Structures are given as C-alpha cells and as structure tokens.
Amino acid sequence: MADIDASDDELLLKRYVEGSVEALDTLVSRHSGALFSYIRGMAASREEAEDLFQETWTRAIRHAASFRGGTVRGWVWRIARNAVIDAVRKRKPDDSLDRPVGGDGAPLGDTLAGDGVPVPDQVAGADTGRRIAACVANLPPAQREIFLMRTTGSLSFQEIAAILGIPLNTALGRMHYAVLRLRKELGGEGRER
Amino acid sequence: MRRADDTFDLAREDAAADAWAPAARAACAAEPSAATLARIHERAARELAARRRRAVLARFRMYLIPAAAAALVCAATLLAIRPSPAPAVPRPHALLDGMLLLATAVHADEAADENPRDGTDTERLARRLLALQGFTDADPDPTPADFHL
C-alpha cells in the first residue's frame, strides 16, 4: 500500500525548507496523481480541481517550515481534504460532510445523493471505465472521499480515519456502503467481494 | 442505511478495496495540468525567496539591537568626557566696580532724600551700602561727617 517511502517525503520537505525548490517539485510529482484524482473526484469541475490542487500545495508550502510529526503524506492529504471542505462550504454554506442528520446520526455525506444525473442515463453507452467513474461521482460525498482515498490514493483505512478525524469503524462502514452502492449501480458486474 | 451498531472487518474491507482499486484508478485517475504544476513551482520559489529575506532581516535584527546599544553607550561616553566650556570668570576688580556702580545707582537717590549731606559723598555711601550687604569687613571708620548727623 505504501509504495512510496514516507521517509523520502520528510526528507524532500526538509530539503525544500532548506532552500531546494526541486525537492518540492519532486514531492508534488510523487503525490500529484493520487491527490489530484481524489480532488478531481470531489470537485465540481476540472477547473475547481486545478484550483483546489494548487490551493492544497500553496497551504503546504506556506506551512512547510512548521511541519512536525506524522507523515507528510497524511499531512498533505489532510490539507487537501480541508481545501475540498472549504470549496463545498462555498458552494453550499450550510452543508458539512460530517454534519449528523436523521435519527441514526448518519452524517450528511452518507445520505446525500451525488451531484450528477441518475447513473443509468449517465452511463448508457459508455465503456466500463466511464461507467465506474460516473457511479463513483454519484456516491454520497462522505462515501466517495473514502472510496477515492482508499482506492486511487492507496491510503490505509487507519490513515483515512486519522485524516478525516473519524473512528476506524466509521471509515470501514462508509467504504462498505460505497462498494455496495457501486455494485448495485453497476449491476454487479465484475467486482465480487 | 448504516446502523449505529454495525461493525466492519478491516481485512474484508481491505480486500474489497484492493479488488476495486485497479478499476477505480483506471476510471478516476487524473493528473493536474502542467500550468498548475508550474504555478505551484513558482509559488514555492517565491515562498523560498521570501523566507530567505525574512532570515536575513532576522539576522540583521539580531545585530541591530547590540549595535544600537553600543552606539548609545558611545554617545553617552562622548558627552560625558567632552570638555565643557568654562564659564567666564569675572575679574575681581571689574566685579567690585560693577557692584559699586550698581549700589550707587540704586541707592543714591533714596539716601540723598533721607540725608542730603550723605548724598553729596557718593563714594562714602557706596562703601556703607557694601558694608551693609556684607561685601566689606565692617562699617567704615566713622568720619567727621558721621558725627554731625
């Protein structure tokens, strides 16, 4: 899962703080794919994703010297997640992914429908990859972020729980229901558990 | 939807996630544009330059306070050891002449009004006045004129 050596990240960040821009370029490139995929999956548009990705690294750059403890990867992902939350709040000021709603205390992000149109219309005639992308985009945000962090970001559930500030069981539950929903919407094709 | 007492098995969810990961990566993978990466690079370089400037200022400030304190001490020392201009010492004769003239000028008219005969001898009157003010040892020796008061 951690195919990137975390200590290299710390070293790169340290080198950047000491004056090497190239070290930061390397750090960005090491995480750009997974991080941008997550941000793109949570953002409303490609343009917003580009802005959020830049905002994430701008915040990281600004606070690089004060980074203490933990892993750089977890730190950057937490910054990205906060940037995403800020963007969601700008779009819907009263909404929070973790705001409890309903009698069972399930967070809003678990109950909201996705932003897009219903999956069958959206994916008709598209190849499997595009169908999966559309279904993922239609997941409730709280499930979608965990699904993306775990699958495209290769973060462990423990890391995800720490980044989101939620119990491990909650993270596992959101992933569980995300997969159930994907299987249902994709008609059970291919992804047996 | 989810029940509060649901518990989930980590190994099982890991297995499910690993099974979905390749398809999810293929479907959802995205890369930032080169322009965005260039802006991040530029921002990182600017932040480094600003940090260098702040470091130089901080180092400069470190020396500035002792330098200011040293300058203050030097200024105070220079002021303390500077030779102060000596006040002009009046010559004794000139001082005495001045006092005599002053006393004469101030009291001559009054004394003359009280005793017209003394008013005729300005010098004697001045001496008496000086004696009264403590500038001479004692009253001047009486003169014959004193006995005719």
Q: What is the pLDDT of residues A133-166, one digit of tens each?
A: 999 999 999 999 999 999 999 999 999 999 999 9
Distance from CA of A124 to the nearest CA of B (A): 16
Residues in chain A: 193
If 0-12 CB within 10 Å is exposed, 13-18 middle and 19+ buried, where does residue A171 land?
buried
The residue of chain A nearest to residue B40, with distances taken between CA atoms, is: A54
B116 at the A interface (CB within 8 A)?
no
pLDDT reported for residue A190: 46
> What confidence score (pLDDT) does residue A58 get?
96
Which pLDDT value is given to residue B109? Answer: 59
Chain B residues near residue A191 by CB distance under 8 angstroms? 19-20, 23
Q: What is the pLDDT of residue B94?
A: 64
Per residue in B99-145, pLDDT (tens digit) is: 777 666 666 556 556 665 555 566 676 667 667 766 666 555 666 66
Tell me which of A14, A16, A51, A54 to substitute to probe the interface with B (most B C-beta atoms closer than 10 Å).
A54
| Record: contact A32-B32, CB cut-off 8 A | yes
* Rounded distance between C-alpha atoms, residue A20 and residue A12, angstroms: 9
pLDDT of amino acid B90 = 58
- Per-residue pLDDT of B6-39, as tens digits, reads 688 999 999 999 999 999 999 999 999 999 999 9
pLDDT band at B58 (very low <50, low <70, confident <90, very high): confident
Q: A interface mutation test: which of B3, B9, B13, B14 has the most A CBs within 10 A? A: B13
Residues B73-97 have a mean pLDDT of 75
Count, residues in chain B? 149
DSSP state of A92: S
Of B3, B25, B37, nearest to A28 by CB-CB distance is B37
pLDDT level of residue B81 (50, 70, 90 thresholds): confident
| Chain B residue with the nearest C-alpha to that of A148 | B24
Q: Chain A closest CA to B82's CA: distance in Å? A: 51
Smallest Cβ–Cβ distance between B2 and the set A53, A58, A110 belongs to A110
Q: Tell me, what amino acid is at A100? A: P
A46-66 mean pLDDT: 95
Give pTM, 2 decimals. 0.64
Give residue B44's pLDDT band: very low, low, confident or very high (50, 70, 90). Answer: very high
What pLDDT, on a 0 to 100 scale, did the predictor assign at position B24?
A: 92
Distance CA A153, CA A36 (A): 9
Average pLDDT over residues B54-72: 85
Residue A118 clears pLDDT 60, i.e. is over it: no
Instruction: Determine contact: B76 vs chain A, CB below 8 A.
Output: no
d(CA A9, CA A23): 9
* A100: phi then psi, degrees, rounded to nearest 5: -70, 135
B26 touches chain A (CB under 8 A): yes
Chain B residues with CB inside 8 Å of A192's CB?
19
**Phi, psi (degrees; rounded to nearest 5) at A107:** -65, 155
- Kindly report the backbone phi and psi dihedral angles of residue A156, in degrees, each rounded to the nearest multiple of 5, phi listed first: -80, 160
Which residues of chain B lie closer than 8 angstroms to A106, CB-CB? 1-2
Residues 6 or more apart in contact with residue A141 via CB below 8 angstroms: A42, A88, A97, A109, A112, A114
Cβ within 8 Å of residue A177, ≥6 positions away: A110, A143, B1, B2
The verdict on B37 touching A (C-beta cutoff 8 Å) is yes
Quick one: pLDDT at residue A91?
A: 79
**Mean of per-residue pLDDT scores for chain A:** 82
Task: Band the pLDDT of B55: cuts 50, 70, 90.
Answer: confident
Give the tokens for residue B5.
Answer: 């007492």
- What pLDDT, on the 0 to 100 scale, is given for residue A102? 39
Which chain B residue has the Cα nearest residue A57? Answer: B40
Position B5 scores a pLDDT of 55
Q: What pLDDT sits at residue A104?
A: 44
Chain A environment of B13 (Cβ under 8 Å): 157, 172, 175-176
Q: Which residue has the higher pLDDT, A74 or A129?
A: A74
Of residues A49 and B136, more confidence is placed in A49
Q: Considering only CA atoms, which of A166, A131, A161, A138 is closest in space to residue A149?
A: A161
Is B6 within 8 Å of A173 when comparing Cβ atoms?
yes
- For residue A112, name the pLDDT band (cuts at 50, 70, 90): very low
Report pLDDT for B37: 96
Task: For chain B, state the CA radius of gyration.
Answer: 52
Nearest to A33 by CA among B7, B30, B110, B9: B30
Please judge whether A110 and B1 are an interchain contact, meaning their C-beta atoms are less than 8 angstroms apart: yes
The pLDDT score that the predictor gives to residue A128 is 82
A59-68 burial, b at 16+ Cβ within 10 Å, e below that, comes to ebbeebeebe
Out of B6, B14, B32, the one facing A36 most closely (by C-beta) is B32
Q: Which one is predicted more confidently, B86 or A102?
A: B86
The token duo for A40 is 């793109």
**Nearest-CA distance from A94 to chain B in Å?**
23
Specify the higher pLDDT residue, B139 or B88: B88
| pLDDT on residue B106 | 65
For residue A171, pLDDT over 60 is answered with: yes
Pick from B136, B127, B133, B137: nearest CA to B145:
B127
Please tell me the predicted confidence (pLDDT) of residue B143: 63
**How large is the ipTM?**
0.76
